[in-house]
Amino acid sequence: MNLSRIAGVGHYVPENIVTNDDLSKLMPTSDEWITERTGIKERRYFTEGKDTVASMGANASRMALQRAGIDVSEVELIVFATTTSEYYFPGSGVLLQRELGLPGIPAMDIKMQCSGFIYALSVADQFIKSGMYKTALVVGSEIQSNAIELSERGRNMAVIFADGAGAAVLQQTQNKEHSILSTHLHSDGTFAEELYMRHPGSLLKKRLTAEMITNGEVLPHMNGQLVFKNAIVRFMEVISEALEANNYSKEDIDLLIPHQANLRISEYIRAKLEMHEDKVFNNIMRFGNTTTASIPIAMSEAWAEGKIKPGDLVCLAAFGSGFTWASALIKW
């Protein structure tokens, strides 16, 4: 039976560090206010003229390939998760393909926001299980800071979201003891407008105007309270679903890597699961919410720090715009 395993993980974050104190000079906020509500102390913003969604994804991919001991020429499929592709079209997948020098192979984009990386992981996993491909590259990359207004009006989004990229190399295996055991994907469009960016989009009934930009109609919107309430419920559900599907209990998890949405959400989930701090990996304090990139960045750091070892049971879980939520259970 064909299965897939994660052979290597990598990440890239821009060199431009933006602290809470830096933001307090641009809008009415403070380090105390941001830390209390989100747990974030600093985040990374892209460097103009250097970083793009695809170039950051390529840097993360090269690290993942090097750690896996796999040459880039072996990659047969790219699944690229991003909300912030360089162009309206084409997607970032083909731009990453160009960056890596891989003409001819399929490169697809997944636009599922904060759940995007797990969705992309699931897509690649199915292709490998089917036998169609043996080596796939799964990438999450975002540049969000250029769409955030650094002002009082944009504060609730500006203090949270940031830029970065992460990648995982998947390879075919028949060894269930070192494989992706299952993935679980969900969505509910009922809440689509509670966390969204309306314009520019095809619902626009007239040409985009300067007035619409001035009025903030092109800025992202989030109903923070509603998102938080839904997130804590769906996180718990989808983690339990993954464990039950594979006959494991919460005590069997060696490391839980949640999407880095908000440290308060992660802490709530950890408390509900009665897990020790060492068993839940968080790095939102240093990187903010990098949307599709947050889980692979966290995986890459956890692996580098020795917190993920062969044979470990690792659970990934995410919740985000859509609403979407997802999980993956992995025997490393």
Token reading at 250? 């919460």
Examine the domain organization and report whether 141 and 268 are in the same domain.
Answer: no
Examine the domain organization and report whether 237 and 320 are in the same domain.
Answer: yes
Examine the domain organization and report whether 157 and 229 are in the same domain.
Answer: no
Examine the domain organization and report whether 9 and 141 are in the same domain.
Answer: yes
Examine the domain organization and report whether 192 and 234 are in the same domain.
Answer: yes
- Last-in-domain residue among 144, 176, 208: 176
Rounded CA separation 140/329 (Å): 18
Examine the domain organization and report whether 21 and 128 are in the same domain.
Answer: yes
Token reading at 280? 């839940």
The dihedrals phi and psi of 138, each to the nearest 5 degrees, come to -115, 125
Per-block mean pLDDT, blocks of 10 residues, the chain (332 long): 97 98 96 97 97 98 98 98 95 98 97 97 98 98 93 92 98 98 97 83 69 73 89 97 98 98 96 97 98 98 98 98 97 98
Examine the domain organization and report whether 53 and 166 are in the same domain.
Answer: yes
323 class by beta-carbon count within 10 Å (0-12 exposed, 13-18 middle, 19+ buried): buried
Rounded CA separation 272/230 (Å): 15
Instruction: Supply the pLDDT for residue 215.
Output: 73
Token reading at 72? 């880039």
The dihedrals phi and psi of 330, each to the nearest 5 degrees, come to -130, 135
Examine the domain organization and report whether 241 and 145 are in the same domain.
Answer: no
- The sign of the torsion formed by the CA atoms of 99, 100, 104, 110 equals negative
In the chain, the amino acid numbered 110 is I
- Last-in-domain residue among 176, 197, 215: 176
Instruction: Supply the pLDDT for residue 205.
Output: 61
Instruction: Supply the pLDDT for residue 210.
Output: 73
Rounded CA separation 140/316 (Å): 14
Q: Which of 20, 262, 282, 289 is catalytic?
A: 289
Nearest alpha-carbon partner for 127 in 75, 178, 177, 91: 75
- What CATH number corresponds to the domain at position 261? 3.40.47.10
Rounded CA separation 64/93 (Å): 17
Instruction: Supply the pLDDT for residue 219.
Output: 75
Please state the domain count of the chain. 2
Is residue 289 flagged as an active site residue? yes
Instruction: Supply the pLDDT for residue 206.
Output: 64
Full-model pTM:
0.96
Instruction: Supply the pLDDT for residue 220.
Output: 81
Examine the domain organization and report whether 304 and 193 are in the same domain.
Answer: yes
Examine the domain organization and report whether 135 and 191 are in the same domain.
Answer: no
Q: Which of 184, 259, 283, 315 is catalytic?
A: 259
Examine the domain organization and report whether 134 and 209 are in the same domain.
Answer: no
Is residue 11 flagged as an active site residue? no
Q: Which of 114, 282, 283, 315 is catalytic?
A: 114
Range of the domain at 306: 180-331
- The sign of the torsion formed by the CA atoms of 116, 77, 9, 166 equals negative
ω into 200 cis (within 30 of 0): yes
The dihedrals phi and psi of 285, each to the nearest 5 degrees, come to -60, -35
- Last-in-domain residue among 176, 195, 210: 176
Query: 90 with 124: CB under 8 angstroms?
Result: no
Is residue 259 flagged as an active site residue? yes
Examine the domain organization and report whether 249 and 293 are in the same domain.
Answer: yes
Rounded CA separation 125/54 (Å): 22
